[in-house]
Structure 1
Amino acid sequence: MGTKFLEGNFAPVSREHTITELAVTGHIPDFLDGRYLRNGPNPLSEVDPAAYHWFMGDGMVHGVRLRDGKAEWYRNRWVRNPAVSATLAGEDASRFCGLDALGANTNVIGHAGKTLALIEAGAPIYELTEELDTVGRCDFDGTLPGGYTAHPKRDPRTGELHAVSYSFGMGNKVQYSVIDAQGRARRTVDVEVTGSPMMHDFSLTEKHVVFYDLPVTFNADMAVAASVPGALRAPAKLVLSAMVGKVRVPDPVTAMMSRKLGANGGLPYRWNPRYPARIGVMPREGGNGDVRWFEVEPCYVFHPLNAYDDGDAIVLDVVRHPKMFDTELHGPDEGGPTLDRWTVDLTAGKVLEERLDDRGQEFPRVDERLVGRRHRYGYSMSADGGATPGGSLFKHDFSTGSRQERAFGGGRQPGEFVFVPSHADAAEDDGVLMGFVFDPASQRSDLTLLDAGTLETVAAIHLPDRVPNGFHGNWVESV
């Protein structure tokens, strides 16, 4: 039994490159001084296609350095967690399993002068050098142990990182945290949820934190089947059930089981139709007792586009999947994800759910200067079923309700695109959109720069290899 998540441009690349001579078509704007970085799964060792889940592959960060109108280098590097380091050194990496074996494969950001490769679910995150070599694990100078998230949000006013983290080991709690501009946690809040959900992302407004408590939850059966011999599965299930809040067990037992999870197995989260779908709203300086919960129709949200306060309401623009990990257990593919708007009426205690665009799409992004504030534009990638890239980039205008589409043609597949303004005070679409585009004909990828206003190509930086379908990238400006 194969999986499309190991075929085509989902397949891993086998080489690390350091390229300082890059061909460029078009003109790289002079205002770009920094690195475009993107993370994604790239299994180093051979994996079992029947068991492999796209989210579980070893992390590989790709980066292009732009300065003075030139592309100075392209590099791609595996994130060196213990298992990857052992494999590259020719050692037996099988002793590494569980959370320590999960590669930081989901996002990559710059914060407080550091480059950070991110993942969720309590697994370690890693600091990288400017050139993308691995420095080591990051716990924000010891101020935030226990893992982080793939989706922090930077407050454009303070420069602080806000985040919501989850892990099956946390039971029925998730943790909201604020990392200050110097890179240390200044505030954490544990928030009780219904069970043990996969809370991939959250939303931030100027006044509120929004939690998505949705019916994809930790599944003890899957975790045990992936990692525990048959005779031990019944006691192992009891331990895992205890870890998600049913029974208290000693910490050493919890640690032992977490080491066993994930050994060449699938993601232990699955659609749970018995779990209530709801969103929680907490004042930014509030605590667990201040969270208000609002029911929504059952669905799953990996990625909100943005959120903002609007009088006595909160507006949430989200990519909504009808369900997730129900029949397809190798990656997201449960029907077309749509762009929806949820308006939380704080006075009436209800959520109005509207469909903004029914075309399949994912990886929504907004001008980062407007995180938590009212936005006019948003960008997304066309997607079939949930993860397979389509051939287009969408630009949504929320003031007119219109959508522009940029098709790349020739079977080319764009990944997530990010917006970079032409200067600090530039208008909301005055700048460039940048992202990797894969060309199946040449089996190579370009870092493509588009004019954010017109969606016309400004420049294409031609890479020597392809960048496999992955997750999230960011522009990290030089300081």
Structure 2
Amino acid sequence: MESLSRSAVICSISRTPQGPSPPNSLPSTSTFKPLLQRLKPLPLKVEVPEQLKAASLNLLDSIVETVFRFEKEPLFSTGNFAPVAEIGEAVQVSAIEGGIPEGFPQGIYLRNGMIHATYFSKDGEGNWNVSYKNKYVETESFLLEKNRNKKLFLPTITGDPSAVLASFYTNMVRCGQPVKFEANTSVFEHAGKLYAISEQNLPYEVDPSNLDTLKSWDVNGTWDRPFTSHPKRVPHTGELVIMGIAIQKPYYVLGVISADGTKMLHKVDLQFKTGVLVHELGVTENYNIIMDYPLEIRINRALAGTNQFLGSELKTTAVSISSIPSRMVMR
């Protein structure tokens, strides 16, 4: 497995399931003008026959399988960490040890990984019905591999630095994405909607009644970068504080989403000097708590043949506290 989330993150929903082109750099003389006029009508997109596409993909697959060698890590693929298959339709849970507490709410208990859902509902006589269902979040990466019925993405986190760098470029050529989008780290609810998320991409909205993947969430086009796996809700206002880290500028961007999930109220580049591996942030009623760690991410290290992740000896952990600018509208 390329990545693994070791902690179970839970989410509960207490309700019944339901411009103009830049100037040409060539001299614009009479010699070039007729040629440029002929080139302008040419389409930028060239249609490639399906047979040629398939042949190119098969050739690239052969190259990858020849050049790269995968090393198995049994710890991450056996026992409790073994892959889990989808079960299809929800199944009734008949073996229940103990009893459901008095006053326990009807609703859905959800957890991360592939999405696991346990449904609690009562019939007309007040008897409990408990059922279970699971399903993978159908990200672009998942659908790509599902359609080709094979693993396509090369690992980009651990391994030989030169192989990791080659994996980035190979994934781009082979899959159109540098890394695999898995949406398996966390689940959260905002404005009555359920989302699944992993740190390197946008959240995916999931229908809690059947676990179908609906669409990715970019807050109506206002967020175009990685989205933290653990957003925080502001007490009393219901606004959602998020962050996104990256390996290129801006390295850390903070955002505040409206309580109804339709608007980005505030978005600011915190002007970090380099990429850092930050997984969490804190939120109180009046303040954001921002963490800056010595663990840096620098792609130029991979270019130099060393690990892209490295703890800086020149930095110490810094914790910053700032007021929540939730009333400032992004311009």
Q: TM-score range by the shorter chain?
A: 0.5 to 0.7
Q: Displacement, 1:100?
A: 5.9
1:8 CA drift (Å): 2.2
Pair 1:70-2:128 in alignment: yes
1:36 aligns with 2:109: yes
- Matched with 2:90 is 19
Indicate conservation of the 8 Å contact 2:274/2:296, yes or no: yes
User: Which residue of the partner structure matches residue 219 of structure 2?
Assistant: 140
Give the 5 Å matches for 1:358-397: none
Counting only pairs closer than 5 Å after superposition, residues 163-178 of structure 1 correspond to structure 2 as 163-171=242-250, 173-178=251-256
Per the alignment, residue 159 of structure 2 pairs with: none
Cα deviation, 1:339-382, whole Å, max 9, x if unaligned, reads xxxxxxxxxxxxxxxxxxxxxxxxxxxxxxxxxxxxxxxxxxxx
| 1:209 alignment partner, SS class | strand
User: Higher RCO, 1 or 2 (CA under 8 Å, sep at least 6)?
Assistant: 1
Q: Aligned AA for 2:255?
A: S
Task: Return closer, same or farther for 1:75/1:192 CA change in 2, 3 Å cut-off.
Answer: same
How many angstroms apart in 1 are the aligned matches of 2:280 and 2:175? 27
Give a deviation string over 1:414-466, Cα, whole Å, max 9, x none. Answer: xxxxxxxxxxxxxxxxxxxxxxxxxxxxxxxxxxxxxxxxxxxxxxxxxxxxx
d(CA) in 2 for partners of 1:278, 1:157: 28
Deviation string, structure 1 residues 278-315 (Cα, Å, up to 9, x no partner): 111111129xxxxxxxxxxxxxxxxxxxxxxxxxxxxx
1:285 counterpart residue number: 325
Any idea what SS the aligned residue of 2:143 has?
helix
> Which residue type is aligned with residue 106 of structure 1?
T
SS in 2 for 1:170: coil
- Structure 1 residues 99 and 152, CA, compared in 2 at 3 Å: closer, same or farther? farther
Contact 1:126 1:135 in 2 (8 A): yes
Report the CA distance shift for 1:221/1:17 in structure 2 as closer, same or farther (over 3 A): farther
Contact 2:140 2:181 in 1 (8 A): no
Please state if 1:158 is matched with 2:229: no
Change (3 A) 1:268 1:14: farther
- Shift of residue 198 of structure 1? 1.0
State the AA in 2 paired with 1:181: A
Q: Does 1:273 align with 2:313?
A: yes
**2:132 is the counterpart of 1:82:** no
Secondary structure at the residue paired with 1:136? strand
Determine the C-alpha separation between the residues in 1 that align with 2:176 and 2:214. Answer: 21
AA aligned to 1:190 is: D
What letter matches 1:70 in structure 2? W
Larger-Rg structure: 2
Equivalent pair of 2:287/2:322 in contact (CA under 8 Å):
yes
The superposition leaves residues 149-171 of structure 1 with CA deviations (integer Å, 9 ceiling, x where unpaired) of 10111123111111222121334
- Could you say if the C-alpha distance between residues 272 and 152 of structure 1 is closer, same or farther in structure 2, counting changes exceeding 3 Å? same
Secondary structure at the aligned position of 1:177 is classed as strand
Gap runs ≥5 in structure 2: 1-70, 153-173, 327-331
2:190 to 102, 111, 124: 111
Report 1:185-334 matches (<5 A): 185-220=264-299, 224=302, 233=303, 269-285=309-325
Separation of aligned partners in 2, 1:268 and 1:217:
8
| Secondary structure of the corresponding residue to residue 131 of structure 2 | strand
**TM-score after normalising by structure 1:** 0.43
Residues 38, 62 of structure 1: 8 Å contact kept:
yes
Letter in 2 for 1:64: T
Letter in 2 for 1:8: G
Residue 260 of structure 2 aligns with an amino acid whose one-letter code is: Q
Aligned length: 226
Q: Structure 1's 99 and 35: CA in aligned 2 closer, same or farther, altered over 3 A?
A: farther
Task: Provide the residue aligned with 2:5 in structure 1.
Answer: none
Preserved CA contact (<8 Å) 1:81 1:101: no
Correspondence 1:129 to 2:207: yes
Is contact 2:245-2:253 (8 Å) kept?
A: yes
1:202–1:212 CA contact under 8 A, matched in 2: yes
What stretches of structure 1 of length at least 5 have no aligned partner?
41-59, 225-232, 238-266, 287-479
Residues 177/66 of structure 1: CA separation in 2 closer, same or farther (3 Å cut): same
Superposed displacement of residue 92, structure 1: 6.0
Distance 1:35 1:272, change over 3 A: farther
Instruction: State the alpha-carbon separation in 2 of the partners of residues 203 and 91 from structure 1.
Output: 41
Q: Which residue of the other structure, out of 45, 61, 80, is the alignment partner of 1:9?
A: 80
Q: Structure 2-normalised TM-score?
A: 0.61
The amino acid of 2:202's aligned partner reads: P
Deviations 1:226-258, CA, capped at 9 Å, x for gaps:
xxxxxxx46xx8xxxxxxxxxxxxxxxxxxxxx
| The structure with more strand, counted as a fraction of residues | 1
8 A contact 1:65–1:74 mirrored in 2: yes
What is the CA-CA distance between 1:61 and the residue it aligns to?
A: 1.2
Question: Does the 8 Å CA contact 2:116/2:132 hold for their aligned counterparts?
Answer: yes
- Identical-pair percentage: 28
Pairwise CA RMSD = 2.7
| d(CA) in 1 for partners of 2:188, 2:279 | 16
User: Once the 2 structures are TM-superposed, how far is the Cα of residue 148 of structure 1 from its aligned partner?
Assistant: 1.3
Q: Give the drift of 1:207.
A: 1.9
Instruction: Report the Cα distance in structure 1 between the residues aligned to 2:233 and 2:213, rounded to whole angstroms.
Output: 23
- Following TM superposition, by how much is the alpha carbon of 1:126 offset from its aligned partner in structure 2, in angstroms? 0.8
Q: Counting helix residues as a fraction of each chain, which structure ranks higher?
A: 2
Letter in 2 for 1:31: F
